Chain A
Amino acid sequence: MGSSSKKKKEKQKDFAKPKLKVGKTKPKADNHTSTSFKAKAIVVGHQSLNAAAPTVQTQLKHNLTLLNHHAYTTRRDSLAHIASVLSSSSASNPPISYALLLPALAPLILDSTGPVRTQLLTLLNNLTKPKDLRQDAIIPVDSIRMHTPRFLLYIHSAMTHISADIRADSTNFLAWLLDVVGEEAVRGAKGWGKTLKCWIVLLGWEGAKSGQGVRGSTIEFSDPGKNKKASLQHLGVLRQFLFVGIIEDEPQNSHFDIRMTDLLRPHQHTELHMMPTTSNIYAHLNLFGTSGIAENVNEEDAEGSAEDCDSRRRIVKNVFESNLRVGLQAKLQEGGEIGRAAGAVLKVLDKAFKTLTSGYEAT
């Protein structure tokens, strides 16, 4: 009896509420941890002791890595930083290798935000085009030429992107590339056939050949406000693209110039038998590429060798001409500014094929 009541009391003790009194400190809780320790020193494991400011090079490199940053403002700012540093430097002694810089810039063509893309476009325009004729561009044309296939890849990707904004901007980059490197941009399977395919789907003219007619597809109407502006711009770039691709430069000197032709050259078509002036002319044979995915060379001959103007004209004639013409006719009928732009493109086509037929007749 006695022991049980004792036990009860013991048990009760656990649940007794401590009395709080005014003016007294609150009793510490059971699980209270004392933090009243003192340290003589705090040791930091690693610390940068570099007193000098980072060099331009390291800053640039850092900014290059920031191009992949998730916040678009950071990307844009780092682009701006790169542009400002490069524009103040000389072309002969760049603060950073172009082999590093250009591949890092190319993926931004696909950037999801508009400001970054415009920033990129201004950067490219400012740095790669000479400000006036006496001066060279800051980034030399040769280095851009080296990276043309890479830029083309991203431009193709942008031309077919699901986001209408990126598609609309894509031709701006193409126009820039055509401006800077000229014929290099349309050479080869990647440059010509592939780009033309992208053009066809970009403008929604794929069904034209099969007799379904040009359809006002979802692609074109997907952004009604910008539609007109975008398509106007597209047609302008298309004209430029075709012009560079299928209209031969007028020979500088006429056949009657005896000095040039007969004396120095043993054969009428000597230039065809000479060493090529451009690099990698057998790219379409895919001699050194991966054997896995060969370019589908035989698919309607669209991506065959497009090394010279004739072969490009042939490709257009065999594969794309009907699509292009039907599409352009439809635009022409719309009239207005777009109609005029389409007419200009048609003129380029007509001119190209006139020279083609005349060339055939001549031979």
Chain B
Amino acid sequence: MVKRKRTALEKQTNLPSLQNQIRRDPPSYRDDFLIQFRHYESQRDIFLAQPEGYDSDPFIEQLGFITHVADCFPDVTKRFPQDLADLLLNHHNTLEPDLREKLVQCLVQLRNKDVIPSTALLQTLFPILTTTNSKHLRAQLYHSIVSDIRNANAKTKNHRLNKTVQGVLFSVVEAGKGSPDAVVGLWAVKVTRELWRRNIWDDARTVEIIKEASLSANAKVMSGGVRFFLGVDKEREEMDESSDDEDYNDSLSKLKHQAGVSGKTKKKQTQMERAVDKLKKKERNKHKASVLNFSALHLLHDPQGFAENLYSMHLAKSNNKLSMEQKLLVLQLVSRLIGLHKLTVIGIYSYLLKYLTPRQREVTRFLVAAAQATHDQVPPDLLEPIIRKIADEFVSEGVAGEVATAGLNSIREICARQPLAMNESLLQDLTTYKGSKDKGVMMAARSLIGLYREVAPDMLKRKDRGKTATMDMKNKEKLRFGEEAPGTIEGLDLLEKWYEEQKQKKVEEGGEEAAAEEDEDQGWEGWDVESDSDDSGSWIGVSDDERDIEISDSEDEKLSAKNKKAKAGNKDEMDVDQKDGEESTPATSDPSKLMSLATTRILTPADLAAIAKMRAAADLQKASSKSITALRNEDEVDESIIEGPKTRGKSDKEARLAAVQEGREGREKYSSKRGKALAEKPHSTTNKEKARKKNFLMTLGQAKKKQKRSLIEHRRILKAHVEKQKKGK
């Protein structure tokens, strides 16, 4: 009652104060709100009667007010969001920029207050995004859309919203697919790309949208889609790294210090809390297993169909108007798809053939594409013309060193993926370039030799084979097309070796009986819920008991250290004894033996961790030695590999001087320390300076006297000098 009286006496003169009061006590101010709402309606009607030349300031203010308090009176403002949306949709091209901006803001605000759902907001904003002429509005809409989806996915993934939005985007892209003028899809691609980059969308549906966009007839939409596939993963990784780099520790310590120094205000407290939260979150993220990050290329449905469509739509047709750059992008994507999924797109090899000449613009990228499009399932007949053409066009005596380098390197890259594409005589021709004077050519030829030493030494000339390759030759079988090596778990050989070493150590130490068992149990520690929660006697406990019994059975006979080892091995693998005998041969030689570890025991998480660690170490070694055969089709071929090492050619004097100057940048000037020290502070004239400036005539007499000195006098002076030097020390 008291409150009502007080409010009644207050005079409502401006909207901000009324807004403040309404927020505090909505029911008491219902009438005031109603009158303002009617005012808004009348303002809107005035606006509609005369959309151009309308003084929008009071209307903007009114809109802001209604939006702020709309959630207090849901019954009255039922139609308000729809009104705004209609205004925007129907008049966005004629509205005054300020008013338009305000309308978008109001809608976003209503969304933030949960007055309207996200889908309603996006359904309003997206059509405008694609139709408006105003750049400014487009930017605003784009940001609102992206940030709205981000917010919706901030805590947990909002799958329903994502699905609907993705559906909308998909239909937008699909609708404009056929016509070359429809640029609507561009915005869909942009939004998708942004959300993918921020790790908000990472599923196959997203990729499907982009896939559809890449097959669009419009060149811009298409290249947007293709770029997504080519570059987006890299972008994403960079984004992750950059967010990691942000160092909150500094700001935290600063805040802590400030909190101690100056007064304790609420603002500072909240700042502090926020910083601590961030830090905690960061810590948590550090320990969290990384989120599944499938590359967009891996998430594709039907990569074969996609690659074929891309090729036939954008490359095979001779009448399309794509620029060279766009064609190259498509080619790059198609070749990556072929290499990654081991697809068969036969047309691309003859297509490439056309462009493989040294005079072709961006020829290195075509060479890269040729290398990427090669994998071990490509028939050698298809690749042979390519290699032949590269050899003819690029690798001959008449061409420049760089060209020959690029040719040889690309031949090597292709042959590394499909060694059968090469024939013996051509290979032997190419290897003669190992004696070239150009360093790049020489290195490229040598690497080709190195490659064939590993895969097919018999194709090389005898003197090129080298010792180890020659020795291995009798074990090597001839390469055959389509032959698949039996699959292995990578790094299993390393694990086995490690086990052997461990055992050896145990034997040497005369270790305990159940060393290996303990080992294994430790491996499951923290992974097996049952064994942790149930200490009274789970099946693991039982198995331990059994082992105890077994041990007690064999207790009567004295066990030698050797037997102990064998027993420990029994639990792990049945045929460990046989293995011990073969220990000397390298583990990689026999795959069936290799797999025995995998078939006889279950690898514990600890084992897997050990494998990862050992593989990392092995990879490091490999990286330094750079084996060519360690190829992975997932990786793209780097252009720099094809180009070879860059040599600095002869240049004019200015260029050389510039290079010299560049080297000098940031280094100290060479001069005496004493001189530098003197230059820094003001000082009196040194003796040296004085001597340098002494009048010539004054020194003349001294010089004459010096010449006339007798030998004895000279000796005395020298002696005195020596004495002086000694004293000085």
Contact = CB atoms under 8 A, between A and B. Distances in A.
B74 to A, nearest CB: 15
Interface string B1-40: 0001001111111110010000000000111101110110
A290 B51 CA distance: 11
A156 B45 contact: yes
Given A153-B45, A206-B31, A219-B32, A198 B8 contact: no
Contact of B91 (A150, A153, A190, A292): A292
Contacts of A207: 30-31
A161 B31 contact: no
Interface string A149-168: 11001101101111110000
A29 interface: no
A235 interface: no
A153 B59 CA distance: 14
Nearest to B693: A1
Contacts of A157: 39, 42-43, 46
B44 to A, nearest CB: 7
Contacts of A248: none
B8 A221 contact: yes
B87 A153 contact: no
Contact of A162 (B14, B83, B87): B14
Interface in A121-166: 149-150, 153-154, 156-157, 159-164
A291 B87 CA distance: 11
Contacts of B638: none
B38 A292 contact: no
Contacts of B4: 215
B13 A160 contact: no
Contact of A160 (B30, B42, B89): B42
Contacts of B48: 290, 293
A156 B38 contact: yes
Interface string B177-196: 00000000000000000000
Given A162-B36, A222-B11, A293-B86, 15 more contacts: A149-B49, A154-B46, A157-B39, A157-B43, A159-B38, A160-B39, A162-B13, A164-B12, A207-B31, A215-B31, A218-B29, A219-B12, A290-B90, A292-B91, A293-B87
A157 B38 CA distance: 8
Given A153-B42, A157-B43, A293-B86, A223 B31 contact: no
Nearest to A289: B48
A355 interface: no
A221 B6 CA distance: 11
Given A153-B42, A217-B32, A292 B13 contact: no
Contact of A218 (B31, B43, B45, B693): B31
Contacts of B13: 162-163
A216 B45 contact: no
Given A218-B8, A292-B89, A293-B86, A153 B30 contact: no
Contacts of A164: 11-12
- Most A Cβ at <10 Å: residue of B38, B48, B79: B38
A214 to B, nearest CB: 10
Contacts of B699: none
Interface centre among B30, B39, B83, B89 (most CB of A within 10 A): B39
Given A162-B15, A163-B13, A290-B90, A216 B49 contact: no
B235 to A, nearest CB: 40
A182 interface: no
Given A1-B685, A153-B45, A292-B86, A206 B34 contact: yes
A156 B42 contact: yes
A225 B48 CA distance: 37
Interface string A1-22: 1000000000000000000000
Contacts of B89: 292
